[in-house]
Amino acid sequence: MLRTVLSYSKLSKLANIHPIEKIILCILPIIALSFSTRCYPLVINIIFFLVLHIVYKNPMHIVKHFIEATFLFALVSSITFVFDYGWYSTLILILKAVSGGISVSFLTLTTPTDHVFYIFSKISWLRDICDIGKSMERFLILIDDEFQTLRKSMLCRGAFGGFKNKVKDSGSLAALLFINTLKRWKEIKDGINSRGYRGNIYYGFEEFHLSYKRVAIIVGYITFLIILVSIPKWF
């Protein structure tokens, strides 16, 4: 899944757009809508990003996965919230989660992580964080590959049949994955050292297309959301 998302982000039509534009577009609405106490600003944002996904032909099955994951997480975590604050506040909470999920999915599917690390690595006090993030990205890809290999081998042996066996086999899978991860990390470390790694990652050179017209439209949309959030509830 992680490798697929990273591949789609590099093939996106918006891959060459400046990452800061897309970060502003996707992150600031989440912050602005976190103060919303009404449904319609959240619904507007969900529809807006859904249209963007369709227009730029992002893979909808991955977008659906993002939405389902955030929806189920919000639904499960807000069960007790219903008894304290009622159904309407719970609905607002779930819509905020879905809105955030669809916004983050757009950022993830259109912005390669290499571009983000490249931009922020220019800031001296963020350089080390970018190096850690880049290393973790590679490590997570290896963990994902290891997980898929173990899962497929267990399925070939008839694992995950029935609820009881699913719980038991999932525990075995997690244990094997943890052990193999520790072994794989040693191999990664030896590989890094053999290539003369000195503590800094080279990010190369990237050119991005920055449009002030797009920035103005993005700022206008965020301002529109802030106005909607700020309107008194009785309006």
The string of pLDDT tens digits covering residues 39-64 is 889 999 999 999 999 998 888 888 88
159 close to 165: Cβ distance less than 8 angstroms: yes
The string of pLDDT tens digits covering residues 82-127 is 777 788 888 888 899 999 999 999 999 998 888 888 888 888 888 8
Question: Does the CA dihedral 48-53-54-55 come out positive or negative?
Answer: positive
Distance from the Cα of residue 115 to its chain's centroid = 15
pTM: 0.79
